[in-house]
Structure 1
Amino acid sequence: MKGYYQFKNMIQTEEELRSIIGFPSELVNNKVITYLDNHCLEFISKSPFVVISTSDEFGFCDVSPRGDKTGFVQVLSENQLVIPERPGNKRIDSMRNILSNERIGLLFFIPGLGETLRVNGKATLVTDDELLKNMSFKGKKPLLGIGVEVEECFIHCAKAFKRSGLWEPNSWTDKALLPSAAKIIFEHAKLPNTSVDSIQKRLEEGYSKRLY
Structure 2
Amino acid sequence: MVFEIKKFEGIISTVEEFELFRTSVGTPSERAANKVISFIDEHVSEFISNSPFLTMATANSEGQCDVSPRGDHPGFVSVIDEQHLFIPERPGNKRMDSAQNIITNPNIGLIFLIPGLGETLRVNGKAYICRDPELLEMSAVNGRVPLFGILVEVQECYVHCAKALIRSSLWKPDLWPEKETLPSVPQMLVDHAKIPNVTSEEVAKSLQEGYVNRLY
- Cα shift at 1:100: 0.3
Give the number of aligned pairs.
Answer: 209
2:97 maps to amino acid: D
- Is 1:184 equivalent to 2:188 in the alignment? yes
Identity of aligned residues (%): 53
- Cα shift at 1:14: 2.5
Between the aligned partners of 2:202 and 2:139, the Cα distance in structure 1 is 33
- Is 1:126 equivalent to 2:130 in the alignment? yes
Query: In the alignment, what sits opposite 2:155?
Result: 151
Query: In the alignment, what sits opposite 2:111?
Result: 107
- Is 1:195 equivalent to 2:196 in the alignment? no
- Cα shift at 1:8: 1.4
Q: After the TM superposition, which parts of structure 1 deviate over 3 Å for at least 4 consecutive aligned residues? A: none
Between the aligned partners of 2:119 and 2:33, the Cα distance in structure 1 is 17
- Is 1:41 equivalent to 2:45 in the alignment? yes
Q: Which runs of 5+ in 1 are unaligned?
A: none
1:73 maps to amino acid: V
1:6 maps to amino acid: K
Q: Which runs of 5+ in 2 are unaligned?
A: none
1:142 maps to amino acid: P
SS in 2 for 1:198: helix
Query: In the alignment, what sits opposite 2:90?
Result: 86
Over aligned residue pairs, what C-alpha RMSD do you find? Answer: 1.2
TM-score by length of 2: 0.94
- Aligned with residue 22 of structure 2, among 1, 18, 23: 18
Query: In the alignment, what sits opposite 2:9?
Result: 8
1:10 maps to amino acid: I
TM-score by length of 1: 0.96
- Is 1:96 equivalent to 2:100 in the alignment? yes
| Post-superposition CA distance 1:84-118 (Å, at most 9, x none) | 00100011111000000000000000000000000
